[in-house]
Amino acid sequence: MGDLAEDAEPPIVWTAGAVARRPPRRHPSRSRTGSRRSRCTGSCAPRLDAETLRHVLDDDFATHGLETTWNELCVPALTALGRRVTPAGDCVDAVLLLSWAIIAGLHLAAGPTNSASRAQRALLACPEGERHTIGLEALHAVLTERRTPANMLGPSVPTPVLVAAADRIRPAVVVVWSQARRTARTGLLRKLAPLAGTTIAAGPGWDEVRLPGTVVRVTTLRGATDAVTAATVPGGRPGTSARA
C-alpha cells in the first residue's frame, strides 16, 4: 500500500481524448519514474488491478510521451516483474496483465493510424514460435505517431504467411522481432530480403546471430524508428546503416 499512498493523485476524469491531447512533458524526475514503476510492479500488476495499471501507464504516456515512458517505465517494469516469475509459474498472470496494459497504452498514445501508399509501408512481425510482441508494439506505436504506415502482423507468424504477405505488399521495410535466440532464424531473413526494400532484425534474440550482410540490425527503439523512417521516406537512405 505504501507505494500507492506515495503516488496518490487527485482524481482525473479519464477519457481517450483527454489523455491523447495533453502535451507531453519529456523529462520526468527519476524518483517519480521509480515510484510509478514500483507502483506497476509492486502493487497493480501482482494484484491484477488492471484499472489502476492502465491509469498509471496512460497518464505517463500522455505526460511524458511514448519514447520516454517506454524506455523509463515500461521496459524496466517488465524486466523487474519478469524476475519475479518462478519455475512454478507464479507471477505469470501479472506479467501478462502488465504486457496487455502496456500494449493498450501504446495503442492509445499512438493515436489513429493513417493511410499512405503501399510503396512506403513497413511490415512488422514476430517469427513462428515468438510470442514476445511488446517491443514491436512499441515500434509500431512510435511509427504511427510519426505517421509512418505500418502493418503489424503480431506474434508467431508462420514463415509461409509472412513471406506471402511481404510478396503481396512488397513493403519498403520489413522488421522481424526475436526475443529469444531460438526464434532468430537467418533463413527467414534471406527469404524476406528480396521482397522488401530493407530487412531489419530487432530484439535480443539476434544478439549472437551472424546476420546476412544486407540485413540492418537495430538495438534501440530510437534506432529502429530511425531505420524504418529512413527506409520508408522517399529519398531516404535504406540499408545504409549496419547497426542502429
Return residues touching ligand B12 (CB under 6 A): 75, 78-79, 82, 92, 95-96, 99, 129-135, 138-139, 179-180, 202-204, 218-221, 224
Among residues 79 and 167, whose Cβ is nearest to ligand B12?
79
Q: Shortest Cβ distance from residue 71 to ligand B12 (Å)?
A: 7
Q: Shortest Cβ distance from residue 158 to ligand B12 (Å)?
A: 13
Q: Shortest Cβ distance from residue 218 to ligand B12 (Å)?
A: 4
Among residues 167 and 207, whose Cβ is nearest to ligand B12?
207
Among residues 7 and 128, whose Cβ is nearest to ligand B12?
128
Q: What are the backbone angles phi and psi of residue 127, rounded to the nearest 5°?
A: -70, 170
Q: Shortest Cβ distance from residue 51 to ligand B12 (Å)?
A: 20
* Residue closest to ligand B12, measured at CB: 82
Q: Nearest CA to 204 among 224, 178, 225?
A: 178
The full DSSP string for the chain is: -HHHHHT--------HHHHHHSPPP----HHHHHHHHHIIIIIITTTT-HHHHHHHHHHHHHHH-HHHHIIIIIHHHHHHHHHT--TT-TTHHHHHHHHHHHHHHHHHHH-------GGG-EEEEPBTT----HHHHHHHHHHHHTT--EEE--S-B-HHHHHHHHHHH--SEEEEE-SSGGG--HHHHHHHGGGSSEEEEESGGGTT----TTEEEE-SHHHHHHHHHHHHSTT--TT--SB-
Q: Shortest Cβ distance from residue 174 to ligand B12 (Å)?
A: 14
Among residues 111 and 129, whose Cβ is nearest to ligand B12?
129
Q: Shortest Cβ distance from residue 91 to ligand B12 (Å)?
A: 9
Among residues 225 and 235, whose Cβ is nearest to ligand B12?
225
**What is the Cα gyration radius of the chain?**
19
Among residues 172 and 221, whose Cβ is nearest to ligand B12?
221
